[in-house]
Amino acid sequence: MAPFVRRFCWFALAALLLLSLPTAPASAQTTYTVNTNADSDNGCDAADCSLREAIKAANASTGADIIQFSVSGPIKVNTALPALSGGSITINGGSARVTLDGGLAEIANGITITSANNEVRGLVIVNFNTILGSGFAAGGNGIHISGSGASGNKIYNNYIGVAADGNTAARNQNFGVLLNNGASNNDIGGATAGLGNVISGNRVSNIYIGVVSDGSVDPVENNRIAGNNIGTNAAGTAVPSGASLNESQGGITVYEYARNNTIGPNNVIAGHSTSSSTTKAGILFDGPGSNDPDIPSGTIIKGQLLSA
């Protein structure tokens, strides 16, 4: 056999062998169904799977996982839930919404996200507490998105600081949604109908973008806030019943190291009037003096409905 033909046959045989080798299966999507209101922590299975157990299982799984519910709640957590650290996890409370209540936890955030490409939708997140002096990031926030790895996350169609009836305030003690410590390129609501959240009644501010008390200097940038009712009831017609107007300082607070974020379109922002003792605003910019490089910068505001 000629050398050229022999070499060609060997190459053909090698190619056939490579094609016959088993390939690694693609990461499968796993769905975890929360089927108990209890805050148990002994493993998620078909007989018993709490939200805490489902988050742990999804974090440990590969692929894009879904957490759904066969219960409506309320789910009352005893301590802080695990952060969404695995990435590409969807928590979907459905059109009826599932209530997540932090009233039993001394210090906790509702949902904490430290990874990329997660989605949280269809939840009612209320009554999360903190301890004075523990820092804004430690607890008391409905949703906390934190860290340079926390990007591409989507927060859609939730009630945060407002009860399931859409009319009654049930505040979280710090912020409704907190984005800090480098969290970037996330969406809080969206301009398309059905994506916006109701974020109202929370004690310090309904949405906060920028550095808090953790000492981070990582920019919080390119986040988008659109299509939300902020400071109002679900209908957007009034302040929620029982909301404390003497405490909340802003609908949206933009603070140090917040850069190039977009507010709008289609947010309805109300219920943040100015008093003689406390600065309040629908959109509040705060930080160091104008010559300080930490000052919030590059914010785009478009298409809002603002009211006192």
Write the secondary structure of 38-68 as one string of H (helix), E (strand) and C (coil): CCCCCCCCCCCCCHHHHHHHHHHCCCCEEEE
**The pLDDT of residue 11:** 43
Could you tell me the two tokens for 176? Answer: 């409704």
Domain boundaries, the chain: 74-306
User: How far is Cα 253 from Cα 282, in angstroms, rounded to an integer?
Assistant: 8
Asked if residue 182 lies in contact with residue 213, where contact means CB atoms within 8 angstroms, the answer is no
For residue 287, what are the CA distances in angstroms to 52, 149, 183? 37, 24, 18
Tens of pLDDT, residues 70-111: 998 899 999 999 999 999 999 999 999 999 999 999 999 999
CB 170 within 8 A of CB 123: no
pLDDT at 70: 96
Q: Which residues contact 86 (CB under 8 A, 6 or more apart)?
A: 58, 59, 60, 61, 65, 115
How far apart CA 286 and CA 212 sit, in angstroms, is 12
Q: How confident is the model over 3-47, as pLDDT tens digits?
A: 444 443 444 444 433 334 444 344 578 999 999 999 999 999 999
Within the chain, residue ranges assigned H as helices are: 3-20, 51-60
At 74 the pLDDT is: 96
C-alpha 69: how far from chain center? 18
**Residues of 224-253 as b/e, b for ≥16 C-beta within 10 angstroms?**
bbbbbbbbbbbebeebbeebeeeebbbbbb
Provide the 10 A C-beta neighbour count for residue 59: 16
What is d(CA 112, CA 216) in angstroms, rounded to the nearest whole number? 17
Q: Please indicate, yes or no, whether the overall pTM of this predicted structure exceeds 0.95.
A: no
Tens-level pLDDT at each residue, the chain (308 residues): 554 444 434 444 444 333 344 443 445 789 999 999 999 999 999 999 999 999 999 999 988 999 999 998 899 999 999 999 999 999 999 999 999 999 999 999 999 999 999 999 999 999 999 886 667 788 899 999 999 999 999 999 999 999 999 999 999 999 999 999 999 999 999 999 999 999 999 999 999 999 886 567 889 999 999 999 999 999 999 999 988 766 667 899 998 889 999 999 999 998 776 554 555 688 888 876 555 667 778 888 887 776 65
Label residue 199 exposed, middle or buried (CB < 10 Å: 0-12, 13-18, 19+).
buried
For the chain, report the end-to-end CA distance as a whole number of angstroms.
91
Look at residue 117 and give its three-state secondary structure: coil
Q: Is residue 10 exposed (0-12), middle (13-18) or buried (19+ Cβ within 10 Å)?
A: exposed
Q: Name every residue whose Cβ is closer than 8 Å to that of residue 251 and which is 6 or more positions away in sequence.
A: 205, 206, 207, 230, 231, 269, 270, 271, 272, 281, 282, 283, 284
What burial class does residue 304 get, using C-beta atoms within 10 Å of its C-beta: 0-12 exposed, 13-18 middle, 19+ buried? buried
